[in-house]
Amino acid sequence: MRSTCAALLVLFVASCGCENCGSRSTNGPGAVARLGDHHMLTAPVTVGNLTVWPVTTDRPLDLGEFLTLDEALAKGAAEVREVGGAPGVAQSAQSAHVDVGGVEFEEPAPRSNAAPQQEAGQTFQQEAQTLEQAAQGAVVNTLVIENKGELPILVCAGTVVKGGNQDRQIGQDFVLKANSTTPVDAFCVEQGRWTSDRLGAETGGKFEVLDGMATAKVRSKGQYEKDQGGVWQEVATVKTQVQMSAPVGDPIDSQEATILVSSSYAVAFDANASSEELKACEEAVKKHFAARAAAVGFAYAINGKPVAVRTFAHPRLLAKQINDFVRGMGTEALLAKSDALAKAADAKDVVAMVERISAADEQVSATGGLNRNGLRKNDTGYNGTCYVADGEGKLAPLTQDWTAR
C-alpha cells in the first residue's frame, strides 16, 4: 500500500568554532539544499567524532499530547509485561483492531516463540530459530504494554526495556491509545537469560526503561530487518566495544564481566554511561538543543558519515525524547572512535542520504496501536514514518526516521 504523504525536508547548515568547551557550535543558519518546503537542518554542534544538527520547521503539527513510556511508567499509568504475564492479552491479541483515519485494520496475532537454550557452537541465527519453536508461556518477539492513563503513549523504536525474562528493544514507533492493553513488536537484547531473575533481583515479569536509545545498528536490525539474529550480532559488537574502551586496569567485577561478554546490552550500555567523555558529549549536545527550543528533530554523523535523521511533528515531542537520543548517539560515537583521521561531517552528505532513501517506494501497514507505519528500504538505508490521524481524520506524520545501512 502506497502512502500519498510525502516526506518533506529542507536542510540548512552553518559552522563556527568554540575553543573553550571542546566542541564547535554555530550561529545563524545558511541554506545548503532543499528537499521540501518546511524543514531545515540548522547550525550543528560537533564533539569529537560526533556532529549533530537540530532540525526545525516552519509548520509544526500539533497532533495532541503524548506521554513517553518512561513518563507513563513513572506516573503508574503504564506497565510493560511479557505476553504470558498478561491475563487475557493472548485472546485480545488474536483480534486486535485499530481505527486510523476512519479505516479499520486488523493486527495479526503475535508469533509463538521458544525459550532460549544455550548450546556450544550455536550461532545467533540458530538461537533465534530456537526462540521460535516452543514458547514456555511468554513470547520473545512480542511484549504487552498496558496504558492505564487518559493520554496516548508514544514509544519510539530502539527504546530498551530492562526486566521480564529478557531485556528487549521496542521494534517499531508505536502509539498506544488511552486505557488499552496492546501487543507490540520487540527484540531480545540480552542473549541467554530466560528467567525472571535479573542480576539477582526478581523482575516479576515487568520492565523499566533504559536511560538511552539503542544504537542505530542494533535498532535497525530489529525495526527494519526484523532480524533477531542480526540484533544479537550488533549487541555483541557493542559489548565488545565497551570492554575495549574501558581504561586499562579499570576493575570490572566478575558478574559484570560475564554479562558484558554473554548477556545484556543494557548492562554494557549502563557501564559505558559513567564515562566522563560521554558525559561531556551529552552536556555539549543538550546545551546546543536547549538554545533551539523550536527544534523538531535532529540529524547526526559519526566519523564524518551520516547515521540517521529523526523528526517529530512538534517541538514538545522532541523535548521529551531528546535526552535519551543524545545518550544513545553519544554512546555510539564514543564506541566508534578511531585513531584514523575521518573527513569532517558535511550536511550535503546528510541531504544526499535522505534523498536516496526517500526515492524508494513506501509500504504502509497497520499496527495494533493508533498509528500506521510507513516503510522504505533500499541499498542506502531505511525510512520509517509513524502516521496518526489529525483533527480532520487524515493521516499525518507523527515521527519520521532515516537511517543509513
Query: What is the CA 17 to chain-centroid distance, rounded?
Result: 31
Among candidates 33, 34, 31, which has minimal Cα distance to 43? 31
Q: What is the pTM of this model?
A: 0.80
By the 10 Å C-beta count (0-12 exposed, 13-18 middle, 19+ buried), 150 is classed as exposed
* Residues 380/369, Cβ–Cβ less than 8 Å: no
Sign (positive or negative) of CA dihedral 335, 380, 318, 146: negative
* Residues 50/300, Cβ–Cβ less than 8 Å: yes
User: Rounded to 5 degrees, what angle do the CA atoms 400, 373, 180 make?
Assistant: 110
One-letter-per-residue 3-state SS of the chain: CCCCCCCCCEEECCCCCCCCCCEEECCCCCEEEECCCCEEECCCEEECCEEEEEEEECCCCCCCCCEEHHHHHHCCCEEEEEHHHCCCHHHHHCCEEEEECCEEEEECCCCCCCCCCCCCCCCHHHHHHHHCCCCCCCCCCEEEEEECCCCCEEECCCEEEEECCCCEEECCCEEECCCEEEEEEEEECECCCCCCEECCEECCCEEEEEEEECCHHHHHHHHCCCCHHHHHHHHHHHHHHHHHHCCCCCCCCHHHHHHHHHCEHHHHHHHHHCCHHHHHHHHHHHHHHHCCCCCCEEEEEECCEEEEEEEECCHHHHHHHHHHHHHHHHHHHHHCCCCCCCCCCCHHHHHHHHHHHHCCCCEEEECCCCCEEEEEECCCEEEEEEEEECCCCCEEEEEEEEEEC
Instruction: Please state the length of the chain.
Output: 405
Sign (positive or negative) of CA dihedral 131, 137, 142, 143: negative
Q: What is the pLDDT, as a whole number, of residue 150?
A: 96
Q: What is the pLDDT, as a whole number, of residue 275?
A: 83
Rounded-to-integer distance, Cα 103 and Cα 100, Å: 5
Joined grid coordinates for residue 181? 492493553
pLDDT in tens, the chain (405 residues): 333 333 333 332 333 333 333 444 333 344 454 556 678 899 899 999 999 999 998 889 999 999 999 999 999 999 999 986 544 333 333 323 333 333 333 333 333 333 333 333 344 444 444 344 334 456 789 999 999 999 999 999 999 999 999 999 999 999 999 999 999 999 999 988 888 998 888 999 899 999 999 999 999 999 999 999 999 999 989 988 887 776 555 555 555 555 555 568 998 888 788 788 999 999 999 999 999 889 999 999 999 999 999 999 999 999 999 999 999 999 999 999 887 777 888 988 998 999 999 999 999 999 999 999 999 999 999 999 999 999 898 999 999 999 999
By the 10 Å C-beta count (0-12 exposed, 13-18 middle, 19+ buried), 208 is classed as middle
Query: What is the CA 335 to chain-centroid distance, rounded?
Result: 17
User: Rounded to 5 degrees, what angle do the CA atoms 166, 269, 315 make?
Assistant: 100
